């Protein structure tokens, strides 16, 4: 991996390079995605099945597009029992973590007949998108479905691409275990459009969640406003903040765990130690000789892999905050103290034994995270993404009488006389 001494100029170049990975930078595909979305909005199933045949090379109809009970039973027979056991263990951890995020309605009764509050209502129908093109991600099924179930969403539908007419058994089993209600064998921008606008086969949802390729990301961007979305996800990324106490072999392995996702993935080490930097670079070279996705990893590191040398931990923290990474590993002498000084990261992994895949699969926190610097203002997917809040206001006549002239004064100051009148009329 390239080792770079961080300066103001190299920092600016780095941030510019990383931002090129954002879905907002792929305007050349937006026209194609817009056409797909418009066609499905206008033609429904006809366009959905035509695009599925064109892109996924499979012919579907209203009967075959929906995963059947028999297919789920077949998936259970095909899945490795050891994997099923792990899925069930992970589900316990994920469900337990997200149950702590659950919100409740509250009401505050005050003097003179005033009641204020907030009512929490689950979304009624949510669409979960699960990738299935280059790779299969049953872990993403769990991370999307579980918080929706904990939030109390009555119906969760899932779409995922299929190969040769079949969805991966691992994906089907994960979906059934997590509690997805209906699964459809469609993917890509056409699946997003179908869930956003509804077709005779696939019902319109209130919100769409889940990661996907650039076409999925741009489709979510295009339908936002017709439905809610979680975020417009970019390629995966990891930043490791480390000092001389870090184990270079561990750090190298963790950097490569994200580089294998795709050629646009970003893997960055920020360190105060030149000796660690050199050692990590050597370990990366060694791992590359034995890892199965060597070509993807090499391309990812060539494009977006860096070892950044900084003069102090404070400078390292500042750099991390500017990158605002999806995943941040903190491997310093006192990672808990360092963590308190970091402001921007989707998920933080503390210490030498908290490798990023622990969060991907098992620990419990959600692995659907903000990417491309959006950790400055976005949060991980959670229960809050599947509920809405309604403000509750009740004033008795006595309570309103005490303040009505104040309200009228405010309304008149904004030259909104009808507002003022709607209060004043009650005290004529």
8 three-class SS: helix
Distance between CA atoms of 341 and 337, rounded to whole angstroms? 7
Distance between CA atoms of 241 and 243, rounded to whole angstroms? 7
- Does the active-site annotation cover 327? yes
In contact, 315 and 6? CB cutoff 8 Å: yes
Token pair listed for 191: 């699946």
Distance between CA atoms of 256 and 283, rounded to whole angstroms? 10
- Tell me the CA distances in angstroms from 78 to 139, 146, 174, 324, one per residue in order: 17, 23, 13, 40
In contact, 232 and 23? CB cutoff 8 Å: yes
- Does the active-site annotation cover 326? yes
Residues in the chain, total: 428
The backbone torsions φ and ψ at residue 389, rounded to the nearest 5 degrees and listed phi first, read -115, 130
Token pair listed for 339: 């963590």
Residues contacting residue 61 through CB under 8 Å, at least 6 positions apart: 49
Catalytic residue (one of 237, 260, 283, 326): 326
Distance between CA atoms of 391 and 381, rounded to whole angstroms? 23
- Tell me the CA distances in angstroms from 92 to 75, 122, 146, one per residue in order: 21, 22, 10
In contact, 178 and 141? CB cutoff 8 Å: yes
Residue 219: burial class (beta carbons within 10 Å; 0-12, 13-18, 19+) = buried
In contact, 313 and 332? CB cutoff 8 Å: yes
- Tell me the CA distances in angstroms from 31 to 28, 115, 219, one per residue in order: 7, 50, 10
Q: CB count, 10 Å around CB of 344? A: 17
Catalytic residue (one of 176, 327, 367, 404): 327
- Tell me the CA distances in angstroms from 68 to 50, 128, 172, 182, 318, one per residue in order: 22, 18, 10, 9, 51
Catalytic center residues:
326-327
């Amino acid at each position: 991996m390239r080792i770079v001494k961080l300066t103001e100029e190299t920092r600016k170049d780095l941030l510019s390079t990383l931002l090129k990975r954002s879905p907002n930078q792929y305007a050349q595909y937006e026209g194609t995605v817009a056409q797909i979305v418009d066609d499905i909005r206008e033609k429904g199933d006809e366009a959905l099945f035509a695009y599925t045949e064109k892109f996924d090379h499979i012919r579907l109809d209203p009967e075959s597009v929906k995963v059947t009970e028999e297919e789920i039973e077949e998936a259970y027979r095909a899945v490795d029992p050891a994997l099923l056991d792990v899925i069930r263990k992970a589900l316990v951890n994920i469900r337990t973590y997200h149950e702590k995020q659950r919100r409740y309605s509250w009401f505050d009764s005050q003097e003179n007949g005033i009641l204020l509050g907030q009512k929490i209502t689950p979304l009624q129908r949510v669409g979960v998108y699960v990738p299935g093109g280059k790779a299969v991600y049953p872990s993403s099924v769990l991370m999307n479905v579980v918080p929706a179930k904990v939030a109390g969403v009555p119906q969760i539908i899932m779409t995922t691409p299929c190969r040769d007419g079949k969805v991966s058994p691992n994906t089907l089993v994960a979906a059934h275990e997590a509690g997805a209600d209906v699964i459809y064998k469609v993917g890509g921008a056409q699946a997003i459009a179908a869930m956003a606008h509804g077709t005779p086969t696939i019902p319109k949802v209130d919100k769409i969640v889940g990661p996907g390729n650039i076409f999925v990301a741009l489709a979510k961007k295009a339908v936002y406003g017709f439905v809610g979305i979680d975020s417009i996800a970019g390629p995966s990324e990891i930043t490791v903040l480390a000092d001389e106490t870090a184990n270079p072999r561990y750090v190298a392995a963790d950097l490569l765990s994200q580089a294998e996702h795709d050629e646009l993935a970003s893997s960055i080490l920020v360190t105060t130690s030149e000796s660690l930097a050199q050692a990590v670079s050597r370990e990366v070279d060694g791992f590359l000789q034995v890892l199965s996705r060597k070509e993807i990893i090499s391309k990812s590191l060539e494009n977006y892999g860096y070892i950044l040398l900084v003069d102090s931990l404070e400078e390292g923290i500042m750099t991390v905050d500017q990158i605002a990474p999806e995943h941040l590993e903190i491997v310093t002498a006192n990672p808990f103290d360092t963590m308190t000084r970091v402001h921007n990261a989707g998920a933080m992994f503390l210490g030498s034994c908290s490798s990023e895949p622990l969060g991907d699969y098992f620990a419990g926190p959600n692995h659907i995270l903000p990417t491309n610097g959006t950790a400055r203002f976005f949060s991980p997917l959670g229960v809050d993404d599947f509920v809405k809040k309604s403000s509750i206001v009740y004033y008795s006549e006595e309570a309103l009488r005490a303040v009505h002239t104040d309200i009228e004064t405010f309304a008149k100051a904004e030259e909104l006389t009808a507002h003022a009148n709607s209060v004043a009329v009650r005290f004529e």
